[in-house]
Amino acid sequence: MLTTQREGRTEIIYYVIPLIATVSMAVVSDFRDWRIPNRLIAVGMIQGFLMSAVVRGPCDGLLSSVAGCVIPVVILFVLFHKKALGAGDIKLLATAGTFVGTDVIRVIVYSFLAGGVISLFFL
């Protein structure tokens, strides 16, 4: 179970469950059809904005979500332009950014590492 330490007490992180569900559905869809549906991205982003607003507060949560959504698009645009990364992948990372905020850079690094491991299986 995912937990966090806040003010001396341990809290279970419930807001990560929708993120895991969204990413899982996107992975299944990507492996099956080689595309990630925009409807799934939209629902995931709405959930991310709402969960961040509830957990972090309306102002801080939404600001953090917007930053987490924009960072992957800005950083990964070059890879998309060089056709090294698909638009669905960038949109999924932007969706993850709405949940985790500016910590999305760590998510990008971990997803690239996981993608490298998965690509070894395809070789």
Tens of pLDDT, residues 47-89: 999 988 888 888 988 999 999 999 999 999 999 999 988 899 9
Average model confidence (pLDDT) across the chain = 87
Q: How far apart are CA 110 and CA 59, in angstroms?
A: 28
pLDDT of res. 62 = 92
Share of the chain above pLDDT 90, in %: 58
Mapping DSSP to helix (H, G, I), strand (E, B) and coil, where does residue 54 land? helix
pLDDT, tens digit, 9 for 90 and up, residues 99-111:
988 889 999 999 9
Residue 8 — left, alpha, or beta (φ > 0 → left; ψ -120 to 50 → alpha)? left
Q: How far apart are CA 96 and CA 21, in angstroms?
A: 11
User: Closest by alpha carbon to 47, among 13, 21, 8, 85?
Assistant: 21
Q: How far apart are CA 32 and CA 29, in angstroms?
A: 5
pLDDT of res. 31 = 86
pLDDT of res. 92 = 94
Task: Average the pLDDT over 24-53 and give the result.
Answer: 92
